[in-house]
A and B are shown apart, each in its own frame.
Chain A
Amino acid sequence: MPKLKLPNPIPDQLRPRPQRPGEGNGRKSTKDVVIESGRDAGISVVDWVDERTSLSGAARWTMFRKVPKGTNWFYTLGSATMFAFLSQAVTGVFLAMYYDPSPTRAYESTRHITNEVFLGEFVRGMHKWGATVMMVLIFLHMGRTFFFGAYKYPRELNWVVGVVLLVLTMIMSLTGYLLPFDQRSFWATIVADNINGTGPFLGPYLADFLRAGPEFGATTLARFYSIHMLLVPGAIAALIGVHLYLVAKLGTTAPPWVKAEEPEQLRTEKV
């Protein structure tokens, strides 16, 4: 017996009529066997994987959770942020196919993406505006968590992970801003780098680290590109995993206006 109840892929109307008693010779025709095994094939494959991984248990644990009364649309802001990140990841991968992170070619390749590549302007626009959307969604999600008191015990650690994710996203914004390599990107990065340099004692060295030297040079752009597309996205993806694990483990909170139901006993005693 398959463990997973999957919806039958063949609608009732198309299903072969069951044999009436006396019809045929009691053996299934080849056609029936083919239909039957075809119908079971999908289930068998899922079952084969599930038997070896127990993924269905994990899926049930993550997806079929108890949700408190009063859960509303505000609770979707976290998922919305995650989908904004996924959209950034996908469009970013495609942009990387055309982008060239060298100081002499970067602007030219960005111009090429925008003006000449088929749908290039669209994909670049998705990435550019998606970054803003992600930032906005993060703060809405953070505001929801704050105003609903969802950061309180036992979810403090998830708040901390969320703040780290916010900082990582800001690093993405900062490093991504340089990549088009126009005047605005360049000078904004100079300014950002000098702001980093104003930290006492370690600031000057931090600025040198970000620039890969005392002046904005040939490797600065490559360094920002590598941080933008390899280092930080990996960290964000991993931390989103931790964030989601904690959500699944601890469950979500009810909105503050939903009162906890008193147990039956106490209610009768009050009356």
Chain B
Amino acid sequence: MADRRKEKSPYTEDRNIPGAFEGETVTRRRLMVGSVHAFGAMATAAIGLPALGFALGPVFERQRARWEDVGTPEDFVDFTYRPKVITVESGAGEVGKTTVYVRKHNEEVDGPVKDSYDDFVAISTRCMHLGCPVRYIDASQRFVCPCHGGVYDFVGKVSGGPPVRPLDRFYTRVRRGRLEIGPRYSVNSELRRFSPRDAGQPLDGIGQYLYPRRFTTPELD
């Protein structure tokens, strides 16, 4: 439908507006209304954006790598795991602690040592289905999850149930004669290292692109 209204001139002078002057197109009223809206938007943004940033901040905050002493290297063997409790999050009491299964690197099952972080294997107890705590059963040499029946073999690879990738691991190092457990990392089914991903996120094939690295990943020092 065509606009049936009379074509209006853009100039205020032609529209008989009092006080109009030549070349003026924006009336004073429109200018005032526009600036009041703009100031309102600025005031809202001045409160809203910091509040939003406050809530979203932790997503973009890089964590610091923490290394926790778990004993001397001689405490560990290469044919079975020793459970150790480490703190992964300070200030949260018991909730910030987690169990880690630690053993010496075993060339028969793990292949050659990759780098200085690979002399010990520290397996996370976080099930890679949805994050429940797995337990190592020595008799069957399996990690078993109580929630939905995930089963992992001796090196943490999935041998049954719903988990989407092998159990996470922690970097390990020996400093001043003590074994230290560092930040978490994730592995795909070939045990290639990735930055830590949450449970339930596959890392084989397209998975590594669907679930990108997070901003909170600590830098290894």
A198 to chain B: which residues have CB within 8 Å? 198, 200-201, 211
Q: With A and B bound together, what is the CA distance between A48 and B133 in angstroms? A: 65
Taking a contact as CB atoms closer than 8 A, the residue among A186, A191, A200, A208 that contacts B214 in the complex is A208
- Hey, which bits of chain A sit against chain B, CB under 8 A? 103-104, 186-187, 190-191, 193-195, 197-198, 200-201, 203-205, 207-209, 211-220
Chain A neighbourhood of B58, CB < 8 A: 208-209, 211-213, 219
Contacts A208-B59, A213-B58; is A191 near B130 (CB within 8 Å)? yes
A selection of 28 A-B contacts at a CB cut-off of 8 Å is A103-B93, A193-B198, A194-B198, A194-B200, A197-B197, A197-B198, A198-B198, A198-B211, A200-B210, A200-B211, A201-B211, A204-B197, A204-B214, A205-B59, A208-B214, A208-B216, A209-B56, A209-B59, A212-B58, A213-B61, A214-B214, A215-B88, A217-B92, A217-B95, A218-B89, A218-B92, A218-B96, A220-B92
The answer to whether B201 touches A203 (Cβ under 8 A) is: yes
Q: How far is the CA of A260 from the CA of B131 in the complex (A)?
A: 57
B211 CB to closest chain A CB (Å) equals 5
Say yes or no for B91: interface residue by CB 8 A criterion: yes
Contact B130 A194 (CB under 8 A): yes
**B95 CB contact (under 8 Å) in A186, A193, A200, A212:** A186
How far apart sit A186 and B58, CA to CA, in the bound complex (Å)?
Answer: 20
- B residues less than 8 Å from A193 (CB atoms): 131, 198
A200 to B215, CA, bound (A): 16
Shortest beta-carbon distance from B128 to chain A in Å:
9
> Which residue of the partner chain, among A187, A212, A214, contacts B147 with CB atoms under 8 Å?
A187
The reply to whether the CB of B150 lies closer than 8 angstroms to some CB of chain A is no
Residue B106 at the chain A interface, CB threshold 8 Å = no
A194 touches B63 (CB 8 A): no
Instruction: Say yes or no: is B212 at the interface (Cβ < 8 Å to chain A).
Output: yes
Of B132, B197, B211, most A-chain CB atoms within 10 Å: B211
Chain B residues whose C-beta falls within 8 Å of the C-beta of A191 in the assembled complex: 130-132, 147
A195 with B130: CB separation less than 8 A: yes
How large, as a class, is the contact surface on chain B? 20 to 34
What residues make up the interface of B, taking CB atoms closer than 8 Å to A?
A: 55-56, 58-59, 61, 63, 88-96, 130-133, 147, 196-201, 210-212, 214-217
User: Are A103 and B92 in contact, with the CB atoms below 8 A?
Assistant: yes
Is A197's CB under 8 angstroms from B216's CB? no
B92 CB → nearest A CB, Å: 4
* Closest partner residue, chain A, to B216 (CB atom): A214
Which A residues touch B63, using CB under 8 A? 213-214
Give the chain B neighbours of A218 by CB distance below 8 A.
Answer: 89-92, 96
In whole angstroms, how far apart are the Cα atoms of A29 and B56 in the complex?
A: 73
Chain A residue, CB-CB nearest to B183: A214
Q: How many Å lie between the Cα of A208 and that of B60 in the bound state?
A: 9
Q: Are A213 and B132 interface neighbours, CB within 8 A?
A: no
**Contacting pair A217 B96 (CB below 8 A):** yes
In the complex, the answer to whether B201 meets A217 with C-beta atoms within 8 Å is: no
A225 to chain B, nearest CB (A): 14
Q: Is the CB of B89 within 8 A of A216?
A: yes
Cross-chain contact of A204 among B56, B88, B133, B198 (Cβ < 8 A): B198
Q: A103-B93, A215-B88 are in contact. List 10 more A-B contacts (CB 8 A).
A: A104-B93, A197-B211, A198-B198, A198-B211, A204-B212, A205-B214, A212-B58, A214-B196, A214-B216, A217-B91
Q: Collect the chain A residues with CB atoms within 8 Å of residue B147's CB.
A: 187, 191
A-chain residues with CB within 8 Å of residue B130 when the two chains form the complex? 190-191, 194-195
Q: Which of B96, B133, B212 contacts A215 (CB 8 A)?
A: B96
Q: How far is the CA of A218 from the CA of B63 in the complex (A)?
A: 14
C-alpha spacing A178/B208, complex, angstroms? 30
A235 → B minimal CB distance (Å): 15
Q: Which residues of A contact B215 (CB under 8 A)?
A: 205, 208
Shortest beta-carbon distance from A106 to chain B in Å: 9
Cα distance A214–B210 when bound, in Å? 18
In the bound complex, residues from chain A placing their C-beta under 8 Å from that of B94 are: 103-104
Q: With A and B bound together, what is the CA distance between A217 and B198 in angstroms?
A: 15
